[in-house]
Chain A
Amino acid sequence: MNVQTYIIVSLVKIVLTLFILLTGVAYSVWLERKVVGHMQNRWGPTRVGPFGLLQPLADGLKFVFKEDLTPPHVYKPLYIAAPMIAVMFALTSISVIPIGNAVTVGNFSTPIQITDVNIGLLVVLGITSLGVYGVALAGWSSNSKYSLLGGLRASAQMVSYEVSLGLSLIGVLILAGSLSLRDIVLAQRGAYLGFIPHWFFFKGQFFAFFIYLISAYAETNRIPFDLPEAETELVAGYHTEYSSMKFAMFFMAEYANMITVACLATILFFGGWLGPMFGPAWLQETVLPLFYFVAKVFVFIFVYIWVRGTLPRFRYDQLMAFGWKYLLPLAIANLVITALIVALRS
């Protein structure tokens, strides 16, 4: 592949991935409002379009046309930069995630992924760990006690849960023997007895999966760990002083992070785009993998919403005690046992 084709193909992929991600963000918001609505015996959005399907569009327009207020006494450079930092890192982390297998047009074939780096997982972890700056700086620069408390809570919580999140993934890495997300997916091919797939979830990493899921909820500041924006105590937490598109950026960042977390869970524990294959080559190579991947990610998004509709919020000391006293030892135990089993087998 020469340089020009490479650049064009990469640009097309970036634009497409961003478009899909942002549409996904918009419709996860719609899905959340709809599902939580039904759980609470309400209808959710119904007015704009059939089943309220055009509601995200209306919301977006509303955000654009709202007045962009900047309160006095904020520290302006960081107040303006914070939402940009949050949304930038949230959107960047999708770049190394393989969404599907490959596309072939004529004799030209390319993987459905912006770029495959051999430390893909570390790149995702690194970028998401930078995302905390958006939240922390928003809280600090707003010059409001609610924002500051929200920002402090968010940074403490994200730093704490990142440890167990990282440790829960190492078991998978030991089994897969690679940090490249594509290789991790390919290591999960095949099935036991012909129908239980070799996904790492079934290969003994189910504790790791639940540790990952719980820490990921804390990382994305979602119920039951949404203390940074607990509206009953902190108005809206770190984005209290934000309005219009700046608020929308935080909102987009939160949902984009949810989607990234769901993608990672799919890739690391549930076999990525793998699934039963049938039909002609183009179906097997492109359409079915994409379908399986999106379906699995959808399940995780749904579980997010389900949990939100079900669980109450933790108290702050409970959150910290749970993270450090239960989740972290469990993650370490899982890592040691996995390493022992792998070492004994080889």
Chain B
Amino acid sequence: MSDYNQDEGLSLPSNHQQQALALWLQQLLQEPSLPDVPTSLPTPRFDSPVELLFQGNYHLHFYQQLPDFCMALLSNDPLAAVHYASLLYHLVSCHECHSAYLDLYDSLRTAVFPQGVRPILGQGTRTLDATPHRMLGHLCQTLISQAEALLLQARHDHSDANQPARALLQLTLQISAHIVQGTTRREALHDLVRVATLFDGAPASQSPDSDAYAYSPALPGSSKVRSGILRSSRRQPASQPPDAPAIQLRARNLDGLITQHGKMLELHLQDLDQLLQGRFLCINVPLGSLFEPVLWRGGNPRSIRSTSPVDPNGSLVTPLGETELQLSNPEERNMLEALFLLLQVRACDQDAG
């Protein structure tokens, strides 16, 4: 498309007034810029995570119009600029969207008006397991970030994006299950709980709460040295064989464990505060509603009541729900572990108050 002519259609002859107005418009539209970023990048380590292109400067509404706008220009649509006037005004003010526009225009032009040899088609029988885990982690972060952008845009537009955001987060869980390395998986899911509970009316805080214990999965092989005493971070329940698959949880200095009996997931807590002894606990699994393969006890993963009170030793064992997924299957275990990225526990009567 070489003959796009801005003097066609409704244009007026260029004159001094138009140029002065253009300059004024540019100053008006360009918001104060952020501090300059360094122009040269440090040499990254080979295992550094791949950073996202957009860190809070993604304008979903405008960005998603870009392909159609580019195609309208490539098709010589004389009204392209008029139909996309608000986008054009935005492109003046947004460096990221303007760069994306130039990139997309160039790529679409190459696609529509090919020069030379066509690229080879994609082939292969690759699987997620054979894909580098760093890239699976990057994809998870991208999907979570996109889900957040959808929710924020919907709030701005007074619309509902829960279903598409939820679909992206479910896909994230499925893909993360293929990441074998625990730390990579944890990094990939770093923002999952925050985004999944963004506007659900009951934000799941991960900050310290005097009334609640916030458990999350412990990294494999972690052990802590506290007060000069080396303590194993995992204490297997007596009813479980030593090598039975389990998800180990930690809440500051407390240990917890999720085990499985048949289909039933069971929560084991120990060293709970004296104030909780003899009381029933309410368990909140914020990501529980994201994940349908678990039938939660009581039906609400945000409020699962323990079947018994905390015993005099500060321990509690209580069922959480049933699932076909098996902790003995590595992928299914990873998915369940992601589900328990945050598990909050508090006395049930505190909820009522």
Indicate whether A and B interact: no
Residues of B near any A CB (own CB < 8 A): none
Please list the residues of chain A having a beta carbon within 8 angstroms of any beta carbon in chain B.
none
